[in-house]
Amino acid sequence: MDRFKKIDVKVLSPEVRKCNFEEVCLGYSEEEAVLEANRCLLCKKPACVQGCPVSIDIPGFIAKIKEGDLDKAGEIVFDSSTLPAICGRVCPQESQCEGKCVLNKKGDPVSIGKLERFIADYTNINNSLKIRKNPSKGLKVAVVGSGPSGLSCAGELAKAGYDVTIFEALHKPGGVLEYGIPEFRLPKDKVVKKEIQNLKNLGVKIETDVIIGRTITVDSLMKDEDFKAVYLASGAGLPKFMGIPGENLNGVFSANEVLTRANLMKAFRDDYDTPVFVGKKVIVVGGGNVAMDAARTALRFGAEVHVVYRRGLEELPARVEEVHHAQEEGVIFNVLCNPLEIIGSEDGWVKAVKCIRMELGEPDSSGRRRPQEIEDSEFIIEADSVIMSLGTSPNPIINKNTKGLQLNKWECIDAEDVSGKTSIEGVFAGGDAVTGAATVILAMGAGKNSAAAIDKYLTDKYLTK
């Protein structure tokens, strides 16, 4: 075999998958996983581990796959990560672990993400994960939000022996994993539910339908319910709109709305009550992962889907794999153009979008070339609906209703690097609520780091005498 060529992973064919919500990537078989693992050089100083925000011992678990000791491989992965079956599916590995792999110099990097997914699925399916946790420390910690950051923090603290309760505003735990990322990319029952169950097995309690800042405040959690520390991981759930004319027409939706209806409320299934509307022709505005998710979801509802993005194809912020899958499925990319106005019919429904062509000018402060309008290049695209996917910002409910909690100029929670300490003693924060919309794995990394800081804080304050 060619050491520099990766084992391709099986995927559902675009013709089949664009009509259903089944998972697109089928993952490695054991045989394929071993073959791929055998490509790994097991570097003495592994660069891949440095590229992983939760520092999984990558050569360690790959070596065990090579040896065929899959239980041990699973143990190593779960030692560093709370949600490996999820990360193996949604992490941008090309810019993290795989991006650092030495094999890049000669060919394909080791498919670390696919191997992680394989071993996590193996462990979850066979229930071979042994519960290893410290004896109870008798101290309560509250985690606000059950997205990737909250789950990872809760898992680490539970392992350390704390009595952890997660408070979730929605009716189902998982945060963006449940309401945002579609079934065809991240199966809910098979993967998300399973990894959350692993946390429950560690003793983590989850209370749904509790909106911190409304149902109960952070202050009250600490004073009335004896939580000694709180980790705020409420994410960035507030959708942005463009502020252009026609944005409140019927048929203009946030990507969050379409995805929540489809994922959390399962509008794609006839036996669920929640409706969704996308129409025959949809314009998705934006180029991130959420835009790709919205576009591919709309496509599965039977629409012709156009992604409108102001920069070029090269600049799309979405993961390469997502863009590639979207293209294969028939999503049309109208790049270097930007909406100016949404045009409505007489009865107030979306009829068309007026766009303008763009070109890339000089690089801006972020180093990306700034898109600028080309004069007199307006044109009209007809559409039945428009899905705005322009990013999200932190939800203000907690921030506004927590006395003494300092925010930064972007209205995100002001938290110390690494530890996540906030302006309130005993209150820590991490994930999108602090950074603004980012990735699952960065949020998880923050949760893990804060768990260590919370452990230290509580140990110093209550357990060292």
Partner 1 sequence: MFEIKKHKILSPGISLYEVYAPRVANTAEPGQFVIVRIHEKGERIPLTICDYNREAGTVSIVVQAVGRSTFQMVKLEKGDNFLDFAGPLGQPSELIEESDEELKNKKILFIGGGVGAAPVYPQIKWLSDKGIKADMILGARSKEQLILKEDIKKTTNNLWLCTNDGSKGETGFVTDVMRRLKQSNEMNYDLIVVIGPMIMMKSVSELSLEYGIKTIASLNTLMVDGTGMCGACRVTVGNETKFTCVDGPEFNAHLVDFNEAMRRQMIFKTEEGKDLLKTQKETEEHNCSCQQA
Binding residues (CB under 8 A) for partner 1: these are 169-171, 179, 208-211, 214-216, 237-239, 241, 247-248, 250-251, 253-254, 256-257, 260-261, 265-266, 271-277, 347-348, 395-397
Q: What is the DSSP letter of 105?
A: G
Cα 184 from Cα 79, distance rounded (Å): 27
Minimum Å gap between C-beta 399 and partner 1 is 11
Where b means 16+ CB within 10 Å and e means fewer, 328-341 reads: ebebebbbbbbbbb
Minimum Å gap between C-beta 373 and partner 1 is 24
Q: Which is nearer to partner 1, 168 or 321 (CB)?
A: 168
Cα 272 from Cα 275, distance rounded (Å): 8
Q: Which is nearer to partner 1, 109 or 339 (CB)?
A: 339
**Residue 171: burial class (beta carbons within 10 Å; 0-12, 13-18, 19+):** exposed
Minimum Å gap between C-beta 260 and partner 1 is 5
The Cα-based distances of 250 to 196, 230, 337, 382 in angstroms read 37, 40, 23, 15
Place of tokens 């600490």: 222
Where b means 16+ CB within 10 Å and e means fewer, 111-129 reads: bbbbbbbbbbbbbbeeeeb
Minimum Å gap between C-beta 180 and partner 1 is 9
Would you say 454 and 231 are in contact if contact means Cβ atoms under 8 Å apart?
Answer: yes
Cα 52 from Cα 63, distance rounded (Å): 17
DSSP 287-306: -SHHHHHHHHHHHHTT-EEE
- One-letter amino acid of 209: D
Minimum Å gap between C-beta 170 and partner 1 is 6
Q: Which is nearer to partner 1, 314 or 346 (CB)?
A: 346
Q: Which is nearer to partner 1, 314 or 347 (CB)?
A: 347
Q: Which is nearer to partner 1, 327 or 393 (CB)?
A: 393
Minimum Å gap between C-beta 284 and partner 1 is 15
Would you say 327 and 304 are in contact if contact means Cβ atoms under 8 Å apart?
Answer: no
Bridge partners, 283 (sequence order): 306, 386
Q: Which is nearer to partner 1, 252 or 458 (CB)?
A: 252
Minimum Å gap between C-beta 220 and partner 1 is 8
Q: Which is nearer to partner 1, 395 or 422 (CB)?
A: 395
Q: Which is nearer to partner 1, 94 or 247 (CB)?
A: 247
Bridge partners, 427 (sequence order): 230
Cα 59 from Cα 173, distance rounded (Å): 32
CA 195 vs. chain centroid, Å, equals 14
Minimum Å gap between C-beta 217 and partner 1 is 8
Would you say 236 and 392 are in contact if contact means Cβ atoms under 8 Å apart?
Answer: yes
Q: Which is nearer to partner 1, 2 or 347 (CB)?
A: 347
Cα 455 from Cα 444, distance rounded (Å): 16
Determine which helix (DSSP H) or strand (DSSP E) holds 145, and give its type and residue range. none
Minimum Å gap between C-beta 22 and partner 1 is 20
Minimum Å gap between C-beta 303 and partner 1 is 15
**Residue 102: burial class (beta carbons within 10 Å; 0-12, 13-18, 19+):** middle
Q: Which is nearer to partner 1, 13 or 215 (CB)?
A: 215
